[in-house]
Each structure stands twice: as C-alpha cells, then as structure tokens.
Amino acid sequence: MTHANDESSVILSADRLSIGYDGEAVMRDLSFDVRRGEVLVICGGSGCGKTTLMRTIATLLPPISGSLKVSGVELVGADKRGLTTIRNSIGVMFQNGALFGGLSVLENVMLPMEAHRHLRKPVRREMARCLLSAVYLQDAANKLPNELSGGMQKRAAIARALALEPPIVVLDEPSAGLDPITSAELDQLIKYICHSTRRSFIVVTHELPSIFEIADRMVFLDATTKTVTAVGKPQELLRSGPERVRQFLSRTPNDPKKEAA
C-alpha cells in the first residue's frame, strides 16, 4: 500500500486533542487515528477518561483544544451541517446501553432508520430483525429494555448503533457484564462486521482476551500522565511497548519493592 493510499484510508484522526468537562482536562494531547476497516481498541484504567473520549467523538462533549477530524470534517468549530455529517457517520453504543425504555427492543433498533431513511416499514422491520439476529437477540425483539439482562441490553444497543450502517461504530465496554462465551461470540461479531463491511470500530475494553482477539491496533490511555502512552498492535506492544503497557497486557500486579525504590 502506498503512503498516499494509507492517508486516504484514515477515517477519524485526533491531533493534540484535549478533552474534559468545563474546561478542565481529563486527557491532554491525544493524537491517534482510526483507519477504514480496522478495530481500534482504546484501553486504560477505570476512570481514566475513556467514556469522556467516546462522548467527545460522538460530538456530545466539545473538545477543550486540539483537532478531531471525522470523515474529513473538522469537529472543532463545525457548523450544523458538519455536525450532521459527523453524527451520521458514527454509531454509538453507550456504556449503559441507553436504550429507550418506552420502546421494545425491535422498535429501538428501528427508530434511527425511521428518522433517517425512507424505507417502508416491512423493510425496516426485516433489517432490524437481521441486526437483532446478529447480536443473538432474536427472542427478545418484543421485550422492553427493562425486561432484559445487562448484557442483553448492551447487545441491543450494539444493534441500534449499527442500524444506520455507519462507517464508524463506537462501543463503550461492550463485553463488560457478558459471560465468556457470549463475549467471545461478540468479539467474532465485531471482527466479522468490521472486516466484511470495511467498517471501523472503536472499542473500549479492558478484557485482555478480547483485546488480543479483536484489536488491529490499540491506544493505551494512562491516567497518571493523562495522555496516550502507546499506539500499536497489541502483540508488538506486549513484546516491546512501554513498561506500563506491557504490565497491563501481561496482567502483572504493581511490584511493591520497585515502587518503594
């Protein structure tokens, strides 16, 4: 692949991006990009700002400084049309699912299609059924969200995030709260959709098996330095990444002797 080709395959890029609430930065100087058709895993300790980054990418939280380009549109200072372009190219699954409680699971998945596409209802319904099948929720189609377990709600939210077939899908801790088998199946699903449709996935997770299974590349956020510590393939980072990342990926506890020294 030529260099120029490589450049054009970048679908989202953050450059010296600072994010946080009310002008107070949670993370600073984030620089990374997401390529078309790859799974980028974002990991880091609890409370380090992963959800904050998701919210920023989803245009729900304005960046403090720096630049964030999505599908060629700059988010900082974007007008209404720019924001619409960005929002239409991103599907988000929130950490808690954020399903609409008054609608059945099937209606939750159909809602975005209803608003943004001009398809007849039977088409939309069949499309939504296909998505629910893909996340193993075919039997829960007519249930209300509060009748589902936490893991099922997450899968329903993934289906909703995919409803408009966005080029970028953002998943906030999709496998948290799932049993290992379902979680592995979900990994396969993410990989499958990603590679078969050249869709990009940004996945927040700290589950090591999941990271090694799905990540084409990973971005490691560090709460102590408040920025990106490493970007790369998980296998390479495990072999030759910064010490903190290797510790994370090999699941080594902090060494009390070393800390004292």
Structure tokens at 61: 């939280």
When CB distances to ligand ADP are compared, the closest residue is 51
CB closer to ligand ADP, 52 vs 175: 52
Binding test (CB under 6 A) with ligand ADP, winner from 8, 16, 47, 96: 47
> Which residues contact Mg ion (rule: CB under 5 A)?
51, 95
Task: Verify binding: residue 21, ligand ADP, rule CB under 6 A.
Answer: yes
Closest by CA position to 36, among listed 188, 185, 208, 217: 217
Give the Cα separation of 210 and 208 in Å (integer): 5
> Which residues contact another protein (rule: CB under 8 A)?
100-102, 117-120, 122-123, 126-127, 129-131, 133-134, 136, 138-139, 141, 144, 146, 162, 165, 189, 192, 196-198
Give the Cα separation of 220 and 180 in Å (integer): 23
Among Mg ion, ligand ADP, another protein, none, partner that 49 touches (CB below 5 to 8 angstroms by kind): ligand ADP
Are 15 and 67 spatial neighbours (Cβ–Cβ below 8 Å)?
yes
Q: What letter would DSSP give residue 166?
A: -
CA 98 and chain centroid, separation: 15
Among ligand ADP, Mg ion, another protein, none, partner that 46 touches (CB below 5 to 8 angstroms by kind): ligand ADP
Q: How many CB atoms lie within 10 A of CB 62?
A: 12
Task: Verify binding: residue 50, ligand ADP, rule CB under 6 A.
Answer: yes
Which residues would be at the binding site for ligand ADP (CB under 6 A)? 21, 26, 46-52
